């Protein structure tokens, strides 16, 4: 990701701040023929496992992307808040249209999880992360154990120990204080 110094932000802290709203991310791997393959997946983040943390996720066993998981480094793209910025939003009239946004790129080599107990823990964590804001959180314990086992056979669970994180917050830091205030007044605080 191209990150000019004035848009660079700490990757780990930015990812933690973006989650859980940005936990539905894009996993990108190099295909056998060099053509990238991408899957949109929900991720959980354990910031305490490893220097940069560890991501956990799962995908359908039928997804061809699963065959590439342990074959090399993957990229997970977390998209935070973003907005089109019209030149009309600025206080000065020397600006052009742009897009302000926050994003984090996480790099690491996926590892498939085979242990049934660990898979169940992974699924429970993903569910907990996404249910915690609901009035009556749902739990897989509400399902028949045979149904859970059947569902678990249909997925590939994996984790990605993060080797490198890149964070970018392009929020007009290179603009004057007057222009930044005018944009914030036009669209509200983006992040």
Is 140 within the bounds of a domain?
no
For tokens 């930044």, name the residue.
Answer: 180
Does the pTM exceed 0.85? yes
Is 49 within the bounds of a domain?
yes
Q: Are 96 and 87 in contact (CB under 8 A)?
A: yes
Please say if the pLDDT value at position 33 is more than 90: no
Q: Are 8 and 167 in contact (CB under 8 A)?
A: yes
pLDDT at site 179: 97
Is 37 within the bounds of a domain?
yes
Using a pLDDT cut of 70, give the percent of the chain over it: 100
108-137, pLDDT tens digit by residue?
999 999 999 999 999 999 999 999 889 999
Domain carrying residue 181: 5-114+156-187
User: What's the CATH number where 15 sits?
Assistant: 2.30.110.10
Please say if the pLDDT value at position 187 is more than 90: yes
Is 151 within the bounds of a domain?
no
Q: Which comes out higher in pLDDT, residue 179 or 32?
A: 179
Mean per-residue pLDDT of the chain: 95
139-171, pLDDT tens digit by residue?
988 999 999 999 999 999 999 999 999 999 999
Is 134 within the bounds of a domain?
no
Q: Are 152 and 141 in contact (CB under 8 A)?
A: no
Beta bridge partners of 33: none
Q: How is the beta sheet containing 54-60 ordered, strand by strand?
A: 44-46, 54-60, 155-161, 111-113
Is 149 within the bounds of a domain?
no
Of 108, 99, 79, nearest to 15 by C-alpha is 79
Is 162 within the bounds of a domain?
yes
Is 148 within the bounds of a domain?
no
Number of domains observed in the structure of the chain? 1
Which whole number is the average pLDDT over 57-82? 97
Cis peptide, bond prior to residue 153, ω within 30 of zero: no
Distance CA 11, CA 167 (A): 4
pLDDT at site 155: 97
């Amino acid at each position: 990701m191209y990150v000019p110094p004035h848009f660079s932000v700490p990757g780990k802290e930015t990812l933690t701040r973006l989650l859980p709203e940005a936990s539905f991310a894009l996993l990108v791997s190099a295909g056998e023929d060099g053509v990238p393959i991408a899957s949109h997946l929900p991720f959980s983040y354990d910031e305490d496992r490893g220097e940069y943390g560890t991501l956990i996720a799962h995908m359908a066993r039928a997804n061809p992307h699963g065959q590439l998981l342990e074959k090399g480094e993957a990229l997970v793209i977390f998209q935070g808040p973003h907005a089109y910025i019209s030149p009309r939003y600025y206080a000065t009239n020397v600006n052009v249209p742009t897009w302000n946004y926050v994003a984090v790129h996480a790099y690491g080599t996926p590892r498939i999880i085979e242990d049934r107990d660990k898979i169940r823990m992974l699924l429970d964590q993903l569910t907990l992360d996404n249910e915690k804001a609901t009035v009556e959180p749902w739990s897989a314990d509400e399902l028949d154990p045979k149904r859970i086992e059947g569902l678990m056979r249909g997925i590939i669970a994996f984790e990605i120990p993060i080797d490198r994180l890149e964070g970018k917050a392009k929020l007009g830091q290179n603009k004057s204080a007057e222009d930044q205030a005018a944009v914030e007044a036009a669209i509200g605080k983006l992040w």
